[in-house]
Amino acid sequence: MKNLKFDFMSKQKIAMICSVSLILIGVGSLIVKGLELGIDFTGGTLVEVGYQQEADLTQIRKVLSENGFNDAVVQYFGNNQDVLIRLAPTEGAGKDKISEQVLLALKQQTEDLKLRRVEFVGPQVGDELKNDGGLAILYTLFGILLYVGLRFEYRFAVAAIIALIHDVLITIGIFSLLGMEFNLTILAAILAVIGYSLNDTIVVFDRIRENFRLLRKDTSANIINISLNETLSRTLITSLTTLLVLLSLAIFGGEIIFGFAFALIVGVFVGTYSSIYVASSSVLALGISKEDLMVPIKEGADQGGLEQL
């Protein structure tokens, strides 16, 4: 893949339209539908039940509704014999009492079931986790802004933040559109996406800075194109190998890890795209030039060299 000559920057307007469209769709879904928050954020009780044979979700929902659990969310967990039941928080009821009521209701159908686990999160704890999760993302972005600004130049820092916000909004928007549950595990995946995307962006920025100092007669757009072509093979190989692992987790890891793997798969695609188009295009749009990246010459350096001669 040497000597590639793709003209990435000539397509930046098309890329910008695609990115803005995806972000608007995602933000629109967040405003209209919101996120399907898990009990980590909303509070409530999670009950996992194992059956000896295939479970009938329709009948389980019916029985729970008849016993006062009208808002129960019932789904298979890994296979059609394990069932996950999510219940909204109930005032004055602990997890032991709720799990007993659920078991009694389900045993009206069959005795061939076993309680596997019960998890309970209070509403106040859920709100705290939601706030702390949002702050974690903001602190991460602020730290990245400082790091990139100190290592490169402030335009690179701003471009990196633009790309990361782009990745986060699109990933969260997809979860909203698909109605997938958003819990602490998915939040951890979002933070991992930020780290992955930043690593790829830093590699591209490093090559851009180096080429700005070497190719002094080229235009800024052409130097960025050359830099992207030089790092393209590394970017694609890293993305493909990462995707192979994540696809294995999504397919064979079961329901408990599927959301985490899915968020990372989306993040790898979006992060790879953003490091090529969003971050690099943002640097160009912010007016980066060769003069901004030249290594300053220390005073007396040339005179010292002449004296030695």
Closest CA to 91 of 52, 131, 136, 122: 122
* pLDDT for 263: 92
Q: Give the least confident one: 5-9, 70-74, 77-81, 126-130.
A: 126-130
pLDDT tens per residue across span 9-67 = 788 888 889 999 999 999 999 999 888 877 767 777 788 888 888 888 888 888 888 87
What angle is formed at CA 269 by the lines to CA 264 and CA 273, rounded to 5 degrees? 135
Residue 254 pLDDT exceeds 80: no
* pLDDT for 173: 92
Interval 183-193 mean pLDDT? 85
pLDDT tens per residue across span 135-170 = 777 887 777 777 777 777 788 888 888 888 899 999
Closest CA to 212 of 298, 299, 301, 284: 284
* pLDDT for 212: 80
- Pick the most confident of 87-96, 183-192, 250-259: 183-192
Give 243: exposed, middle or buried? Use CB within 10 Å, 0-12, 13-18, 19+.
middle
Phi, psi angle pair for 68, to nearest 5°? 95, 0
* pLDDT for 196: 86
Long-range contacts of 52-55 (CB under 8 A, 24+ apart): 52/81, 52/112, 52/113, 53/81, 53/112, 54/80, 54/81, 55/80, 55/81, 55/82, 55/83
pTM: 0.74
- Identity of the amino acid at 111: E
Alpha carbon distance, N-terminus to C-terminus of the chain: 45
Interval 58-83 mean pLDDT? 79
* pLDDT for 79: 75
Q: Residue 90 to residues 42, 70, 121, 129, 279: CA-CA distances in angstroms?
A: 12, 12, 11, 19, 47
Please say whether the beta carbons of 172 and 35 come within 8 A.
Answer: yes
- Residue, of 216 and 224, whose pLDDT is higher: 224
Residue 307 pLDDT exceeds 50: no
Please say whether the beta carbons of 33 and 302 come within 8 A.
Answer: no
Q: Residue 267 to residues 52, 55, 213: CA-CA distances in angstroms?
A: 38, 34, 32
Cβ neighbours around 252 below 10 Å, total: 9
CA distance 63 to 60: 5
* pLDDT for 187: 85
Give the chain's domains with CATH numbers: 9-36+125-293 (1.20.1640.10), 44-121 (3.30.70.3400)
- Identity of the amino acid at 35: L
Closest CA to 235 of 262, 263, 197, 264: 197
Residue 92 pLDDT exceeds 60: no
* pLDDT for 269: 92
* pLDDT for 289: 64
